[in-house]
Structure 1
Amino acid sequence: MEPSGARVRFVLLSLFTGLVSGLEITSTGPTSIEKASGQSVKLDCQFSLASEDSGPLDIEWSLLSSDNQKEDKAVILYSGDRAYEDYYAPMKGRVHFNSADPKNGDASINLTGLKSSDSGTYHCKVKKAPGIRSRKLLLIVMVKPSKPRCYAEGPTQEGKDIVLKCISSEGTSPLQYTWEKTSDTKLLPASAVLDPVGGTVNVRNASASASGSYRCTASNRVGTEECILYLNVTPSPNTAGIIAGAIIAVLLILIIIAIILFCCCRARHRKKYEKEICNEIREDVPPPKSRVSTARSFTVGSQRSSLGSMSPSNLHEYALKPQYDKIPSSEEYERPPSHVPLPPPSGAKMAGPNLSRMGAIPVMIPAQNRDGSIV
């Protein structure tokens, strides 16, 4: 029973202290604030004191952790009649008390150069013994949309589906996109389908009337940005003519390649054939005759033909001339030197029958006149 009695006494003492204390938070403004990045914000925390609050004044602002397992982060403090404004490193130089002397009942702070990381729940705690009071405020730092990029996706030709896209790379969700035509009728084409979340406009079966300038606006709760797009819908090209031209070009290329290959093969075949002819050894051709036998046969034949045309009167003169042009027969080449007949005496005249018996061959010499010409 004794522990239960002690607990009851503690609860009653707490209630009595609350009733006696005159410390109160008097701020009644909104507890949720939305601001754009780069802006400034005032977190309001007004309080009032009574004569019963005689202890030292302590003010503490902290950023509550979203994870219960982590500790809260103290942002700025006031204790012992002194302000500690550079207590939290990420906000150093950006957080200050709104009043130069918070003891006058103003514990509000100003936060400048807001960043998206500054978002969170801020807790203002005012303590002056025996009273303690606190207030919580939710700060949402939103990023303004960046300047969007406008472009057309797909071929911008008549009869095709053209997609107009608008994308902003930065900005706190939700972002909303709106499209409007700024030229001609100021209205989007009748076949256009708008997606405000994705930022697209699908113009189905586009016609030339869809050409013109368009404006896209990206917006959220803290700002807007826009971009301009000019759309030019062109007539569709002659597809059949393009295909026919492509086919003809391919055929011409194939024909040229075939001609080049044919010429190369033919030149290679001709070169190979000439090389084989040069290296071929013909066995059916008899070897060439020697120069001696050819000359002999030619001389003998010439002599015989000359003898047939000689007259008896010229034969005697021919017999008297030395036989310097006689070509020895094969028997004479084979006969030993001892059997070679001696030449007739230079002064003696031999008759034709004697010359024949000695083996001489009659040769006809053409008659000449005194001038040297042949008769």
Structure 2
Amino acid sequence: MELSTARLCFTMLGLLAGLASGLEITSTGQQPMEKAKGQSVKLDCQFALAPEDSGPLDIEWSLLASDNQKEDKVVILYSGDRTYEDYYEPMVGRVHFNSPDPKKGDASINLTGLKPTDSGTYQCKVKKAPGIRSRKMQLIVMERPSKPRCYTEGPTEEGKDIVLRCTTSEGTKPMKYSWEKTSDGNLLPASAVMDPVGGTINVRNASAVASGTYRCVASNRVGREECTLYLKVTPPPNTAGIVAGSIIAVLLILIIIAIILFCFCRIRNKKKYEKEICNEIREDVPPPKSRASTARSFTVGSQRSSLGSMSPSNLHEYALKPQYDKIPSSEEYERPPSHVPLPPASATRMAGPNISRMGGIPVMIPAQNRDGSIV
């Protein structure tokens, strides 16, 4: 009795196991898939139903949370002969079933326009009562390197250490850099040390042989980009000549400034001197020439008046008066009164009666002192 009961239990367990193993996922396991940003990927999930699986078919794709404290995100769902593609907002419009009728055994999905945030572990779960199966796969979305930039660091002179650097702003790590010389036999200088991780190549004690064209290639598992650089190693500059030229230039500038200041001071002093001369009154300046001309006009007018009043008979006596015939010069006029010559003693004055007898009209001449003033 106990033996038959045991056999019955084993039989029931076998039937349950057979029922449970009716649904199978036939897709083979895959390694983590690596795709580049912007590409598309197909997540494969093929299944087979058993005659025992008579319940409704449900297919669910979800993105498993990397942290146990977070919940899984349903990406797409097929249930009741209907597809639901708007469960996960970041993938709306980018996720679709590979087959228009998934119940025929193809539960695969396609993801388009991949983003780095799409990376993670995806689970395909197929349910058709009483059978249920699931499969997990990992997707890694990588960013291919952007166009790198090649440049040099430090002076490119002979005898110096020259560093060639290659950097890229975008790209999923790990990133690998490689340098090669595309000219002069494609051989790097013997003193060159390359760093494939940092993207640098150090040319120590560079010489003119190191000049040429270099190419850097930045790559990761999903793509590669490159840039080129032309290196020209120049002779060291003439330091003595540069210093001498600088000194000469400074001296010329100082000389020009000194000349400008000297001319400015001269002009300023000259204007100041002319201003002082105009305001100064000198005592030894001779009187204006107008006084001499006035004296001449007065003397000539007097002579003409005297001559007009005389008759021809007494003109010879007037000729005896030399002091009235000569107009004093400017020197004689400016001479002090003490040096003015006196009229000659031989000259006789003509009396008034004599002038009347000769037909002339006597004229009264005012008395004057030795200084010429009227008394």
Please give the TM-score of this superposition, normalised by the length of structure 1: 0.70
CA–CA distance in structure 1, aligned partners of residues 59 and 353 of structure 2? 168
* Count of residues in Structure 1 that have an aligned counterpart in Structure 2: 311
State the match for 1:257 in structure 2: 257
1:262 shift after superposition: 0.9
Residue 46 of structure 1 corresponds to 46
Which residue type is aligned with residue 154 of structure 2?
A: G
Q: Give the superposition deviation at 1:52.
A: 3.4
Shift of residue 320, structure 1, vs aligned partner: 9.3
Residue 213 (structure 1) aligns with: 213
Structure 1 equivalent of residue 20 of structure 2:
21
Q: Quote the Cα distance in structure 2 between the aligned partners of 1:295 and 1:101.
A: 144
Q: Secondary structure at the match of 1:194?
A: strand
CA distance change for structure 1 residues 319 and 169 in 2, over 3 Å: closer, same or farther? Answer: closer
Determine the C-alpha separation between the residues in 1 that align with 2:281 and 2:72.
109
Change (3 A) 1:324 1:98: closer
Within 5 A, what are the aligned runs for 1:1-375? 20-22=19-21, 23-66=23-66, 68=68, 70-282=70-282, 291=291, 295=295, 317-318=317-318, 344=353, 346-348=355-357
Give the equivalent residue in structure 2 for 1:338.
Answer: none
- The answer as to whether partners of 1:21 and 1:50 remain within 8 angstroms in 2 is no
| In 2: Cα distance, 1:360 partner to 1:225 partner | 126
Contact 1:41–1:111 (8 Å) recurs in 2: yes
Give 1:260's aligned amino acid.
I
How far apart, in 1, do the equivalents of 2:50 and 2:153 lie? Answer: 70
Distance, in Å, in 2 between the alignment partners of 1:360 and 1:32 is: 145
Q: Distance in 2 between matches of 1:207 and 1:250?
A: 35
TM-superposed deviation, 1:264: 0.8
- Aligned Cα root-mean-square deviation (Å): 4.0
**Amino acid of the structure 2 residue aligned with 1:217:** V
Alignment partners' CA distance in 2, 1:262 and 1:360 = 62
Distance 1:241 1:348, change over 3 A: same
SS state at 2:53 partner: coil
For residue 259 of structure 1, report the CA deviation from its aligned partner: 0.8
**1:62-100, CA deviations, whole angstroms, 9 ceiling, x for partnerless residues?**
223445555433221111122234544433443222333
Query: C-alpha offsets along residues 81-127 of structure 1, whole Å, 9 cap, x if unaligned?
Result: 22234544433443222333322333221223322232122121222
Amino acid in the other structure paired with 1:347: S
Matched with 2:5 is: none
Conserved? CA contact 1:31–1:136, under 8 Å: no
Question: Could you say if the C-alpha distance between residues 214 and 360 of structure 1 is closer, same or farther in structure 2, counting changes exceeding 3 Å?
Answer: closer
User: Relative to 1, partners in 2 of residues 1:319 and 1:58: Cα closer, same or farther, differing over 3 Å?
Assistant: closer
AA at the equivalent of 2:181: K
Structure 2 CA distance for aligned equivalents of residues 320 and 224 of structure 1: 136
Following the alignment from structure 1 to structure 2, what is the Cα–Cα distance between the partners of residues 197 and 44?
Answer: 35
| Alpha-carbon spacing, 1:343–1:175, altered in 2? closer, same or farther (3 Å) | farther
% identity of equivalent residues = 76
Q: Secondary structure at the match of 1:346?
A: helix
Structure 1 runs not aligned, ≥5 long:
1-13, 300-313, 326-341, 350-357, 362-375
Q: Tell me, in whole angstroms, the C-alpha distance in 2 between the residues paired with 1:41 and 1:157.
A: 51
Partners of 2:320 and 2:46 lie apart in 1 by 171
1:61 deviates by: 0.8
Instruction: From the superposition, tell whether residues 268 and 219 of structure 1 become closer, same or farther in structure 2 (CA, over 3 Å).
Output: same
Secondary structure of the residue aligned to 2:356 is: coil
- Structure 2 gaps of 5+ residues are 1-12, 300-313, 326-350, 359-365, 370-375
Q: d(CA) in 2 for partners of 1:201 and 1:228? A: 13
> Which residue type is aligned with residue 253 of structure 2?
I
Supply the distance in 1 between the matched residues of 2:137 and 2:44 (Cα, whole angstroms).
9
Change (3 A) 1:112 1:346: same
Following TM superposition, by how much is the alpha carbon of 1:60 offset from its aligned partner in structure 2, in angstroms?
Answer: 0.9
